[in-house]
Chains A and B, each alone.
Chain A
Amino acid sequence: MTRRDLLKGLTVIAAGSALPLPLQATPSMKQATQTDISRKTRVIVCGGGFGGLTTARYLKANNPALEVLLIEQNRTFVSCPYSNVWLGGVDNVTLEDLSFDYLSASIRYGYEIIHEVITDIDKDAQTVTTDNQTYHYDYLVLSPGIDYDYSKLFPNAATARAVYTHFPPAMKPGSEHLRLKKSVENFKEGIFVITVPSGTYRCPPAPYERACMIAYYFKTHGIKGKVLLLDPREKPATKAKGFLESFNTLYKEYIEYVPTAEIKGIDVAKKILQIETFNHKTLTYTPRSISFAYANIIPPMKPAKLIDIAGLECNESGWVKLKAPGFQSVTHDKIYVLGDAGGHPFPKSGHMANSCGHVVAKELAARTLGKRFDIAAHLPGNICYSMVNGSPKEGIWVSHSISFSKKEGLKATSESMVQRNKQTGNAIASWYHGIMSDML
């Protein structure tokens, strides 16, 4: 899939979603219980993020005879993508622009949604148990996202809890984002630390875009603050040239990028962070102590707990092992996993989860209809925009296309525009509204 295909797809998505769709009756809650015997094939989708919402909608679109039940514990959908633009106070984006109800989408697209917490998955009995009841499935789609792995940063659990409470990562939408937004708005002066996680993590450009947007807020509100961006890498994990150019030209007084920074400890009460950075002269890591006014500590990540509950095998990097090029778990043929928890070498982004949702929906719908589906000919793709300036609005982007061969397996290749420009800045809002209307 090329970037052009991706953009074309989004245009179609946006146009299609503008058409009025007939309301469809949803099955009643009672029909979903284990005790009832349904003649319909039932697919349970766990997780109402980008991957789960897309899969639920397009399963019904590709095979209307399916009974699709989406289980999501939150009652409101809040988007992570585009939230940095809101943090920066750019383009008059409000929290309402990021928030959606689940029920309207469920009615519009004809699947059922329940807001319950999953406590058990029995792969042999093909049941999902929640805090309310047990549901039988014929096929299970898991799109649970990520959990934070503080143990790699702060082995002491009490320290980890204190760090989460006072300096939340804001990589899971809702409450954490609200706290971060308030912290930016109430910031008076001093150092505002943002840490970039090591390893594979959700939305690789997010910490760098966030640094730009917070710096933009400081700059435009006369706040004497400086963003200290601590990265264990030597350069940003993605769109490196574009971000570094933005840091050095747009925000020279507002952002200090610190590469090769390893976190060694934190004093939450005193707001002091101990780090080490690589000294190129002595060729060794040297300690540094940072006194900060506020910090956005983003720890390493792992698949959400639901993967443990389901007892699915993970690869050596900790993500769910899948049967390439498809999305079936190697542990169980009737369980599909997509989104950030998946172990394919795809970037963990909202767009990628949405794109994988389309593929899973097509493949699974075809399977339930007894048809063949060549998944290698329908591989997903990704495009990821980052806003780096608010006035004028300027952005950069990277896209990924996925290929598959028996010899090399799945492979992601990228293309990017790292020279910030207004065209990309303006495209970000269109992308966001397009992808939202594809899911909600």
Chain B
Amino acid sequence: MIKAILFLVCFMHSMANESAGVPTKGMIYYKYLIKEKVGIRGDLFSKQYTTKEWITLFDNNATLFKKQFSGIDPQLDTLLNSAKFLEIMPHLKAFVIHYAKDKTDSATCEEKE
């Protein structure tokens, strides 16, 4: 019984962490699932809006985000309305917020060679 409770607590904790989203994961998802469809590099994409604006766009299961980015590419429209989008959404949100317009960090730091 105690083991079951502990498992449940750990599971809920890990789910809570997962729902918080991981910026590095969001960056990878953006690159492989969205970048080509919107035609914008990840660093420029995240800098389009401030933290507050991104939060608003991702409110209510990203209702405004979907509205904002639909109609650009048919494949993107399919993605936005799929279960996959629900899976990547917290990470995507974490990514764009981490590198938002009002943040000093930039998603890429290319070096001249």
The answer to whether B13 and A238 have CB atoms under 8 Å apart is no
From 219 to 253 in chain A, residues with beta carbon under 8 angstroms from any chain B beta carbon are 232-234, 237-241
A343 touches B24 (CB 8 A): no
Report B30 CB to chain A, min CB distance, Å. Answer: 12
Encoded as 1 (CB less than 8 Å from any B CB) or 0, chain A from 308 to 350 comes to 0000000111010000000000000000000000011100000
Question: CB of B17 within 8 A of chain A?
Answer: yes
Q: Counting CB contacts under 8 A, is B64 at the interface? A: no
Per DSSP, chain A at the interface is loop
| Number of chain A residues close to chain B: CB under 8 A | 34
Expressed in whole angstroms, the Cα–Cα distance for A278 and B30 within the complex equals: 12
List residues of chain B with CB within 8 A of the CB of A234.
28, 31
B22 lies within 8 A of chain A by Cβ? yes
Establish whether residues A155 and B109, one from each chain, have CB atoms under 8 Å apart when the complex forms: no
Report the nearest B residue to A413, measured CB to CB: B112
Q: Which of A139-147, A414-422, A432-440 contacts B (4 or more CB under 8 A)?
A: A414-422
Contact B25 A285 (CB under 8 A): yes
Q: Which residues of B are found within 8 Å of A316, using beta-carbon distances?
A: 51, 100, 102-104
- Measured CA separation A229–B33 after assembly (Å): 26
In the complex, are the beta carbons of A200 and B105 less than 8 A apart? yes
Q: Hey, which chain B residues are within 8 Å of A345, CB to CB?
A: 104-106
Q: Are B28 and A416 in contact (CB under 8 A)?
A: no
The distance from the CB of A301 to the nearest CB of chain B, in whole angstroms, is 13
Q: Is B111 within 8 A of A398, CB to CB?
A: yes
Q: Are B24 and A317 in contact (CB under 8 A)?
A: no
Contact of A415 among B23, B100, B104, B112 (CB under 8 A): B112
Which residues of A come within 8 Å of B, CB atoms? 155, 198-200, 232-234, 237-241, 260, 262, 264, 278, 280, 283-285, 315-317, 319, 343-345, 398, 413-418
A/B interface sample: 12 pairs, CB < 8 A: A198-B23, A198-B24, A238-B109, A283-B84, A285-B25, A316-B100, A316-B102, A316-B103, A316-B104, A345-B105, A398-B111, A418-B111
